[in-house]
Every structure is written in C-alpha cells, then in structure tokens.
Amino acid sequence: MSESHQSYILIRSNLKSGDIGYIIYLHGILYAEEYHWNRTFEAYVADGLAGFVLAYNPDGDRIWIGERDGEIVGCIAIVGASASEAQLRWLLVHSDLRGKGLGRRLMNEAMRFCREQGYGSVFLWTTSDLKAAAHLYLSTGFHKTDEKTHEIWGQTVTEERYEMSL
C-alpha cells in the first residue's frame, strides 16, 4: 500500500457491535500468520476481552480502535488493575499499516488517559517476538522488569513484563 493511497485513520474509543469479535479475529489471524500461534491464543484474547467488556468501568478502563474506511486496523486498551495501577493490553496494528505511526498514536492516547485518571504506574505483558512493540514501549518510558519462557499457544514463548511509573 503506497502512502498516497492511505485513507485517514480515525481513532475512536466507543465500542460498536462487532468490534470485540473483530479485534479477536485480527489477533487470531495476524499472530497465527506471523508467529504460528495456534487457536489457544485467540481464545486467550477472547477471554480477556470478554472480561473487559463485562467488567467495564469508564473511570478506569478504555479501549481505542483505529479505523480506516470503516475497517478496524488497530487497537489498544487500558484496564484498571487497581486504583493506582493500570494494565496496557491488546496493542495491535494491522501488518499493512505498521511503521506508519498508528501504534504510537494509540500508545499516546492510552498514556494520556492513564495520566488523566491518576494512575501511578502502568504495566503490560508482551512477548520477545514482538520487537517493534518492545521498541515502542521502551521509547515511551517503559522498562522490562520480568520474563518467563514456557509452552503456550502452540509455541515456546518468552513473555516479558514492562512497567512504567507515571
């Protein structure tokens, strides 16, 4: 896709019917294609997003969806873990749009929300395979604080925890 043919990407935080299902679908197909993670990863994402929607608290939780021409192309969410700590979850940018600033735009929205809500810290879990995401986290001010390697999602995966004080 050439830069001149890109349409404007809207970032919205209101959930519409079908959004959660489509975000789960995108995680499932993109990570299966890129990292060979199996259907259990999609179930993991589905379980977390279902819990997010059912326990949604507008004072501490938020999701941002990147949309181009009516199609979801990225997302990120903040989930309140406690009154003082938030968890960043489900950062995803469609492979066709990576490297064009959408991930940073989503991250900026999420961090602005955390500061506005008075969170003292934010943490996230990612995997060592997601190099571009790790670069974004580090450039935003996160620091890697833990890692563990185990068999999940049909692969040997090293999960990494990142934290940031606000």
Locate the domains of the chain by residue range.
8-120
Which pair of tokens denotes residue 133?
């995401």
pLDDT along the chain (166 residues), means of 10: 59 96 97 96 97 95 96 97 97 93 96 98 97 96 98 96 98
pLDDT at 7: 64
Q: What is the pLDDT of residue 4?
A: 38
Quote the crossing angle between the two packed helices 19-35 and 39-54, to the nearest 10°: 150
**CATH class (in words) of the domain with range 8-120:** alpha beta
What global pTM score does this model have? 0.93
Please give the pLDDT value at position 2.
37
Query: What sign results for the dihedral spanned by CA atoms 45, 60, 118, 14?
Result: positive
Tokens coding 67? 């949309």
**Cα–Cα distance, 10 to 102 (Å, whole number):** 10
What is residue 151's predicted lDDT score, i.e. its pLDDT? 97
